[in-house]
Amino acid sequence: MTRSDYLALIDAYGGHFKISEFDIQDSIGRMDTGFLQSFLAWRQWTGMPTMITSAWRRNDQKSHGKGKAIDCLLFTQWRVQQASALNHWLLATTWPFQGVGLYFDWSYKCPITKADIPAIGLHVDGWSGNTTKQRPLRWLRINGLYYYQSVVNGSFFCQTNSKSITLDQALKLHATTAEAV
């Protein structure tokens, strides 16, 4: 596809992005077209202002390196107020993404004050590639630790600290720490 083809694809789904937002490490041409189209349709469906923080990544052997993943932030008020963690989760898991990760430990630079602001990060992917984890895969990252969701009971388990947490517990923990900031 040419750059104009990508522009047409972006425009076809509401024109919410510029090509440069996908050109973080290289070219939008590294993105899997089917996944990109699904992501654009998802953005149009959610109606949420979305900031892309990562797309295709060089030297990544997993979803980003295959052009089938995007990391983003969702806002209710552009770059001022984020959607709730629960909204992030529901919007991403309702769509048929193969991977959804909710990151409670991200930040982004405020365009006005240049200060780092705590943020809820969202990873979505369309990768079903070689992984030991069952797909679709759902996970949370809390304080740098990954908790993967069980398809049996829905709880999230971290192999590093051998602890489990439910989504409700993680949301309450995040709400408590967000109030302290």
Q: Where along the chain do its domains lie?
A: 3-180
Share of the chain above pLDDT 90, in %: 71
Most confident of 49-58, 72-81, 132-141, 161-170: 161-170
Tell me the pLDDT of the chain averaged across its residues. Answer: 91
Rounded CA gap, 60 and 118, in Å? Answer: 26
β-strand partners of 145: 142
Structure tokens given for 167: 């989504």
pLDDT score at 181: 54
β-strand partners of 106: 119
Instruction: Provide mean pLDDT across the span 140-167.
Output: 96
pLDDT score at 104: 96
Indicate whether 5 pLDDT > 60: yes
Backbone φ and ψ of 167, nearest 5°: -60, -45
Summarize pLDDT for 16-59 with one digit per residue, the tens. Answer: 999 989 887 767 888 999 999 999 999 999 999 999 999 998 88
176 φψ region: left (φ > 0), alpha (ψ -120 to 50), beta (else): alpha
Residue 67 and residue 32 in contact, taking contact as beta carbons nearer than 8 Å: yes
Rounded CA gap, 73 and 88, in Å? Answer: 9
Structure tokens given for 48: 């949420």
pLDDT score at 175: 86
Indicate whether 69 pLDDT > 90: yes
Rounded CA gap, 140 and 99, in Å? Answer: 11
The pLDDT confidence band at residue 80, using thresholds 50, 70 and 90, is confident
Indicate whether 133 pLDDT > 90: no
Q: Work out the number of other CB atoms within 10 angstroms of the CB of residue 113.
A: 8
The pLDDT confidence band at residue 110, using thresholds 50, 70 and 90, is confident
pTM of the model: 0.92
Instruction: Provide mean pLDDT across the span 124-143.
Output: 86
The pLDDT confidence band at residue 130, using thresholds 50, 70 and 90, is low
What does the DSSP 8-state code read for residue 33? H
Where helices occur in the chain by DSSP H, the ranges are: 3-12, 33-46, 85-94, 167-180
Rounded CA gap, 30 and 171, in Å? Answer: 34
pLDDT score at 131: 63
pLDDT score at 180: 58
Longest CA–CA span in the chain (Å) reads 49
Q: Output the CA–CA distances (angstroms, integers) from residue 135 to 9, 64, 74, 163, 175, in the order listed.
A: 27, 16, 24, 22, 29
